[in-house]
Structure 1
Amino acid sequence: MHAPDRGDTFDHPALFYRTAEEYLAGTVPFVRAGLAAGEPVAVAVPAENLRLLRAALGDDARAVRCLDMREAGRNPGRIIPGVLRAFADAQPAGRRVRIVGEPVWPDRTAAEYPACVQHEALINEAFRDRAVTILCPYDAGRLSHRALSDACTTHPAVVLPGTPARHVSLAYAPRTAAARCNLPLPPVPHAACHRFDADRLTDVRHLATDEGARLGLTGTRLQDLGLIIAELTANSVVHGGGSGTLRVWAEGAAVLCEVRDGGRLTDPLAGRRPAVPDRPGGRGLLLVNMVADLVRVHTGPHGTTVRCRLAVG
């Protein structure tokens, strides 16, 4: 599937595939067309599909930036700043960029999936009017009907299995898709609730890291928890009404933390823009996205909740 030349506009098609052959038929020509046009090309897909693509591309794979999306995009909230924008922003000004990005795969968890939909919806805002094409493969043979339906809502065009033609998605409504995923988070199991304000930021961070250590976090992961707590609680004090609450608990092989405050998050791309050099501030939620394994946010008229997951071990 060759993406048409769309000048300086952003292009974001979804590719539905059922077999490895269909996957390669949709992605390999896309990559090679970009290389032939002198466009920087990146591929960020799960490791098993990355192996397929590298083998099919042969020597051409050496000219492509390749990333395992299971690692680089484990937290969907870091894909825009840490994968897509990181690659696109590093290229010469005025040169069109081409990316294959596969953020949704069949074993994404139920907790991760809404964050994936929000990510796909927000790509359209993050790259508006930029000379970038991002092709997003979807495994139509193993993903749910809901996932394929959501892909039609977050992508303006779809390529169906076994056909090279692009079809305009009549369901395209990315803001609606993002809003549908802004739902109250599941209830927190029994966990101590720590209230904080500007005078208790250090105390509450120590309480959280002590609890994280008790629940099995060590080394860098424990430091990551401390960073997350420091950034989220400071944001609550500065932007969320001056105070908030914190909880830390275990869930399976992970430690979760949650910060609630009375503020309302109005910028849908908060935490998804790369840091601007020499500009102070604006890095708190970005840092959280970059170190957490999953970040879920719910914001509404009564406040904002940010919940983060860190794997143990």
Structure 2
Amino acid sequence: MTRPFRSVLYIPASKERALEKAREIAADAIIFDLEDAVAPDEKAQARVTLARFLSEVDYGPRYRIVRINGLDTVWGREDALAFAAHAGVDALLVPKVNAPADLDAVAALAAKVPLWAMMETAAGMLNAAAIAGHARLEGMVMGTNDLAKELGSRFRADRLPMQAGLGLCLLAARAHGRVIVDGVYNAFKDEDGLRAECAQGRDMGFDGKTLIHPAQVDICNAAFAPSEAEVELAKRQIEAFNAAQAQGQGVAVLDGRIVENLHVVTAQAVLAKAQAIRAQAQDIAAQ
């Protein structure tokens, strides 16, 4: 991963004020939403509004993802065609991906732009590996609200009903080298609850989390960034391993723990992520 995706903020494509304010928010990526966040009678105008903003507004280093409507709707095809070659778009997010064929259909309309998949159905969970292996796929987004609806599951702070689906998608994303971000936390005023869910997602291995409110960004950015202690440990692990190798040894011992090559690879990834985050912050500050 060459860029951070700690915080991925949904912005309704029909709300001009929100589109304007988005360039001031320190999110790593923005999902400009034409689907769930836009009422049916506003969708056609939202497409026009979003195209204009993406042409005129500088969103800096933030990754720009457009969530289109499904191709089974009257708006989906026009959404895909409108943003397939738009210079202000980094990727298209396809809703309710059940199988690779759903990505094929969008890929046929959008020949060049990378695709992301909303993972929010039972079929999508069962086909996660095949979806993640699609040649045009760059990232996966967990749609936990829709998944809970389809499963008929109850809300639990530990998200136990979600674990099977979350795990399947994580395994699929990692097997194919895709970005994967966790679902939203609905109670945007509950900071402690958000921190807990971010910590769970980070511990599981997600790259970041989707968000519904700008107030959630700072908490999410902190949760999915390497801590100072993790950065320091990574540096010490690399130094210890290099010293051991210089002495002809294949492993090192640091703080009473074995350090092997696999730990060094992880440590290097931690340092690379920290550096990418610093670069992103500098770019936003200079915007």
TM-score (norm 1): 0.31
- The structure that is strand-richer by fraction is 1
TM-score (norm 2): 0.33
